[in-house]
A and B are shown apart, each in its own frame.
Chain A
Amino acid sequence: MNTKQAFFMAIKSLKNSKMRSFLTMLGIIIGVASVIILISLINGMTGEITSQFEGMGTNLLSVNLMGRGGNMTGNHSANIDTMEELVEDNPEYLAAMSPVVSVSSATVKYETYNVTASCTGISENYGSIRNYAVETGRFISYIDVENRHKVCVLGSYEVEELFGTEDPLGQTIKINGEEFTVIGTLPEKADSAEASNDDIILIPYTTAMQLASNARLSSYVFQATSGDVVKQAKTTIENALYTIYQSDDSYMVMSQAEMLEQMDELTGTMELILVGIAAISLLVGGIGIMNIMLVIVTERIREIGIRKSLGAKKRDILGQFLIESATTSALGGVVGIIVGIVVAYIFGALFDLSISPSLFSIILAFGVSVMIGIVFGYLPANKAAKLNPIDALRHE
């Protein structure tokens, strides 16, 4: 008997008990679907974050002062002047600097429209550091910073959400109740999606400090003169801060590349954990298949006896049941792949992630499910094949 016939025979016996086949497959379906969903989502998320980071340029360094480190009034602390001096004194490594003040989840209103966005307070240098060129209007200027002007530059997501097709320039919006004048807009970079590089509101950092009612500047972003000197730039900043604080746990200097690495590490670990969970559910699915195959074998002992009396060899019976269980789990695998891709796309749409289920994960999921069928089907199939013809025939 050849494989093709055994395969059709397997399909037939699956069709004969649809409900049971479906329930048997369920474990595999869930396992495979979750593998695909998880891998797609993680890839989407990683891609999103990576592209955000990469959008910032590779020669950035972020400096965070911790604890009382950012206190402007402290004697031994770094402040904006320290940072400015650093740039002035090290022109070979450092090109520019801007403080960064985050006003997270600010309520932004224009007439009846409103969005919740994160506002970032920056200095006039930020534009060149992050390669932000305004599309319309102008960028935040030194004067705006000095005089704490309530002005803002909007990302394309905010423009779309608040103004639609209306021209935002010169309009007044309310950020956490304070009135701001829109002075510029940024070009679209990421389809104006929420939480993307286009979801951004820039205001002078001095204004942001008022808005966030904190008197400390604890975050700065530096631009190295080129991607090649990022390491030296980092050492320069660290040395300067160490001189001030005499300890290296009051500040943290991180380069873009390091952040990316950390990110990768984090998503890698997450991936491992989630895939582990999915693997457990596949294992459970496999045991389910073994269980049901044992039942099927017991139910069909008489049929096995008949087949043996007609000349079926051991390997014919073994093949028949192995192919049946492999087909069951492979079919479960295919359904799981489809369900997984669909759900991944739905999640992607919900969370604004670009989902592309990797071919690798699909092939892996399919291969694993077939393997499960073979491995967990072997025991019951072998049990069936070993039966003595007369004992099988006599079985009630």
Chain B
Amino acid sequence: MIDLIEVYKIYFANLENEVRALDGITLHIGKGEFVAIVGQSGSGKSTCMNIIGCLDVPTQGEYIINDVNVAHYSDDALAALRNKTLGFVFQQYNLIGKLNILENVELPLIYGGYTPKERREMAMEALERVGLTNRILHFPNELSGGQQQRVSIARALVTKPQVILADEPTGALDSKTGIEILELLQELNREGCTVVLITHDTHIASYAKRTVSLQDGKITSDRVKGGLLS
């Protein structure tokens, strides 16, 4: 499903100084996995997710998703990939403030070319999944952080993506609300969705079936619950 092969992401501050956000990462994530990527701040987790999410491109190395090397994709094809195959959940929710909840959830469907009727049905279905059907005409700033994050999960799952990428989805939430979100992700995973969860908290990572640890842009360990993988 997802294959990172010797991926480097190097930022050049100037000619002498370089930051190796990712320093030769090779990672395989299979269909239906629930992987947590953990590591300290600055270890390269977000960079890794951005590359998996096709929001960013590696400086060097190959990224293959669904058997296709993304280097061969055009901008439009990447957009379509993000639209149909991937779903994002961000730490800061990233909802559009001017659009109400329903419109926010409908947004990926607009870019996916669905009819208004289909959009409404699918969005309502997704909002039902996260238990927010009673707030659809509210605007994001009228909701609590946990509710906003649930909206952003609804937005991520509304296109029925194969992969959900969540970067610190509980980062801004209290532990109880955080657990609700994590359980929601677990549920989606049980239904067959591949989930990649980024976190710096090993406790949160324990909700995943597999934990990949990053340090200074390198993978230091890769455990599956109950045993060592490599």
Q: What is the CB-to-nearest-CB distance from A383 to chain B, in angstroms, rounded to a whole number?
A: 15
B74-99 contact mask (Cβ, 8 Å, vs A): 1 or 0: 01100110111000101000111010
Residues of A within 8 A of B94 (CB): 302, 305-306, 309, 393
With an 8 A cutoff between CB atoms, is B169 at the interface?
Answer: no
Q: What is the CB-to-nearest-CB distance from B25 to chain A, in angstroms, rounded to a whole number?
A: 17
Q: What is the CB-to-nearest-CB distance from B11 to chain A, in angstroms, rounded to a whole number?
A: 12
Say yes or no: A310-B98 contact (C-beta < 8 A), given A1-B110, A390-B56.
Answer: no
Q: Is there an interface contact between B110 and A303, defined as CB atoms closer than 8 Å?
A: no
Number of interface residues of B (CB under 8 A): 25
With an 8 A cutoff between CB atoms, is A5 at the interface?
Answer: yes
Given the complex of chains A and B, what is the CA–CA distance between A310 and B84 in angstroms? 9
Output the nearest chain B residue to A309 by Cβ-Cβ distance. Answer: B88
With an 8 A cutoff between CB atoms, is A73 at the interface?
Answer: no
> Max chain B CB contacts within 10 Å: which of A302, A307, A315, A390?
A390
Given the complex of chains A and B, what is the CA–CA distance between A305 and B90 in angstroms? 12
> Max chain A CB contacts within 10 Å: which of B53, B75, B95, B155?
B75
Output the nearest chain A residue to B77 by Cβ-Cβ distance. Answer: A313
Say yes or no: A312-B98 contact (C-beta < 8 A), given A389-B55, A390-B50.
Answer: no
List which B38-84 residues lie within 8 A (CB) of chain A.
Answer: 50, 53, 55-56, 75-76, 79-80, 82-84
B interface SS class: helix
Q: What is the CB-to-nearest-CB distance from A303 to chain B, in angstroms, rounded to a whole number?
A: 6
Residues of A within 8 A of B130 (CB): none
Q: Is there an interface contact between A312 and B55, defined as CB atoms closer than 8 Å?
A: no
Say yes or no: A310-B55 contact (C-beta < 8 A), given A303-B96, A390-B50, A393-B94.
Answer: no
Q: Which one, A1, A306, A314, A389, contacts B96 given CB within 8 A?
A: A306
With an 8 A cutoff between CB atoms, is A311 at the interface?
Answer: yes
Q: Which one, A13, A16, A311, contacts B82 given CB within 8 A?
A: A311
Output the nearest chain A residue to B113 by Cβ-Cβ distance. Answer: A1
Residues of B within 8 A of A310 (CB): 82-83, 88, 107-108, 111, 155
With an 8 A cutoff between CB atoms, is B30 at the interface?
Answer: no
Total A-B residue pairs with C-beta atoms closer than 8 Å?
62
Given the complex of chains A and B, what is the CA–CA distance between A325 and B129 in angstroms? 38
Residues of B within 8 A of A13 (CB): 98
Q: Which one, A1, A302, A307, A313, contacts B75 given CB within 8 A?
A: A313
Residues of B within 8 A of A314 (CB): 75-76, 79
With an 8 A cutoff between CB atoms, is B112 at the interface?
Answer: yes
With an 8 A cutoff between CB atoms, is A12 at the interface?
Answer: yes
Number of interface residues of A (CB under 8 A): 23
Given the complex of chains A and B, what is the CA–CA distance between A316 and B90 in angstroms? 22
A360-396 contact mask (Cβ, 8 Å, vs B): 1 or 0: 0000000000000000000000000000111001000
Q: What is the CB-to-nearest-CB distance from A158 to chain B, in angstroms, rounded to a whole number?
A: 65
With an 8 A cutoff between CB atoms, is A308 at the interface?
Answer: yes
Residues of A within 8 A of B98 (CB): 12-13, 16
Say yes or no: A5-B110 contact (C-beta < 8 A), given A306-B94, A308-B79, A311-B83.
Answer: yes
Given the complex of chains A and B, what is the CA–CA distance between A16 and B56 in angstroms? 32
Q: Is there an interface contact between A1 and B53, defined as CB atoms closer than 8 Å?
A: no
Output the nearest chain A residue to B56 by Cβ-Cβ distance. Answer: A390
Say yes or no: A1-B56 contact (C-beta < 8 A), given A306-B94, A310-B82.
Answer: no
Q: Which one, B53, B80, B110, B159, contacts A309 given CB within 8 A?
A: B53
Q: Is there an interface contact between B111 and A311, defined as CB atoms closer than 8 Å?
A: yes
List which A276-323 residues lie within 8 A (CB) of chain B.
Answer: 302-303, 305-316
Q: List 9 A-B contacts (CB under 8 A).
A: A16-B98, A306-B95, A307-B107, A307-B111, A309-B53, A310-B111, A311-B79, A311-B82, A312-B111
Residues of A within 8 A of B (CB): 1, 5, 12-13, 16, 302-303, 305-316, 388-390, 393
17 new A-B contacts at CB < 8 Å, known A13-B98, A306-B94: A5-B110, A12-B98, A306-B95, A306-B96, A307-B96, A308-B55, A308-B82, A309-B82, A309-B94, A310-B155, A311-B108, A312-B111, A313-B111, A314-B79, A315-B76, A393-B55, A393-B90
